[in-house]
Amino acid sequence: MNSFIPFIGLSFIVHMLVILNRVVMNTVHSVVAKVKGGK
Amino acid sequence: MGYSTLNIIGRSKRKPLKISADRRVVQTPVRKFSVTIFIPCFNEESTIAQCIESCLAQEYKANNIVVIDDSSTDNTPRILKRFGDKITVVRTPKNTGNKSHAQEFGFKGAKTDLMVTTDADTILHPEFLGRIVKNFDDPKVVAAGGYVRSMKYNWLTRARAVDYVVGQNIHKLAQSYLGFMFVIPGAAGAFRTKVFQDHLTFDHDTITEDLDFTYKLHKRGLKIAYDRSAVVFTQDPTSLYSYINQMRRWFGGGWQNLSKHLDVATMHPAQTLELSLMYIEGLVFATLLFVIPLLNITFALYFIVPYLLITSLFSIYAAIHERRGDLLLNPVPYLFLMYINAYIFIEQFIKEFVLRKKNLVWFKPERISL
């Protein structure tokens, strides 16, 4: 089983939010690290 | 990553598929783990040689490549002989008729640190092994799943290619962030041998053993890595008949495993969320697809038109991601296949989850020569 074929709906929205959250958190962490590193 | 090192994606019906590794772009990874690749097969004369060649062409060399021949009756044994001592061939005394039986037979002899599973209709990217093995640098990781790409053939494989892109770059990626990767693909899976031998048993009571293994690892709270850079190319069904049978196996196996491992759904909030999204939403969506047109055809159009727009966006995304313009032709056939998927999803829910009519018969789709 390579991929459980997803239906488009709530799962898509939830998963996009999870990915977006990860991207935002990573960006925030890297900015904070840069600011701290600069001091 | 140099995907173009394999001339597989751009394959047409007429041109033969070529496999050649561009060694300039790949550095040999540091050897840290010993690895055995396992390839179960039954009557795979049209694809097995290319699969083995791709295993032998890995930058990170496997210590052993074990082909588990489930008593093939075609030219497969002769083809395997050609590879001599480059591979180990294990032949079952008689045809077991099921991939998991063949795997159980062959896995017994695993002695390396890691075991990698793939399928006879699959070709590994030359960097696959090096990349999947790297995940085990983290001592907590007990298993890893790679990224599956569909070989180009016709409209059905086109739809499947879009499914894989969306499924693996959105759904599976989010699942891995939540710590609940739904399934380690059998075509691109890797396990610590010790963990596999200690925790995973072949129960032969479901038709999708890779999903069974994944649930068992989740039950024990073990860490599974997902690596999108570890790529394999697989042959998907090229006829509607094969497609329907494969979906019956996947969805049927999905429902079998859900009823077998229902406790997984309540063990962790992420698991509850994922399984609810997968199965409850799946049932609601599949039912709506059939019920809404019966209630009101105009309202059905309001449902289908946005759906086509969304699938168009997915197709554009997949076309860019895979660098394949033909994927832009996907939306209308995709809608047709969605109705087939929805029907099979409900059918298998009734058969496997409600009536518990366990179907364990393995269907092997036709293979196209690589």
Summarize pLDDT for B97-119 with one digit per residue, the tens.
778 888 888 888 789 999 999 99
B23: its two tokens = 């060694």
- Shortest Cα distance from A18 to chain B (angstroms)? 6
Residue B364 pLDDT? 66
Residue B77 pLDDT? 95
Contact A6 B186 (CB under 8 A): no
Residue A2 pLDDT? 58
- Shortest Cα distance from A27 to chain B (angstroms)? 16
pLDDT in tens, B258-269: 999 999 989 899
Residue B177 pLDDT? 95
For chain A, the average pLDDT equals 84
User: Which ranges in A1-39 belong to alpha helices (H)?
Assistant: 10-38
Q: Residue A6 is nearest to which of B148, B171, B185, comparing CB atoms?
A: B171
Contact A15 B166 (CB under 8 A): no
Residue B308 pLDDT? 87
Whether the model pTM is above 0.90 = no
Is A18 in CB contact (< 8 Å) with chain B?
A: yes
Residue B142 pLDDT? 96
Residue B133 pLDDT? 96
What does DSSP say about strands B122-124 and B141-150: parallel, antiparallel, or unpaired? unpaired
Is B142 in CB contact (< 8 Å) with chain A?
A: no
Mean pLDDT for A8-31 is 92
Is B185 in CB contact (< 8 Å) with chain A?
A: yes
What stretches in chain B show pLDDT beneath 50? Answer: 1-26
Residue B307 pLDDT? 83
pLDDT in tens, B47-68: 999 999 999 999 999 999 999 9
Contact A11 B177 (CB under 8 A): no
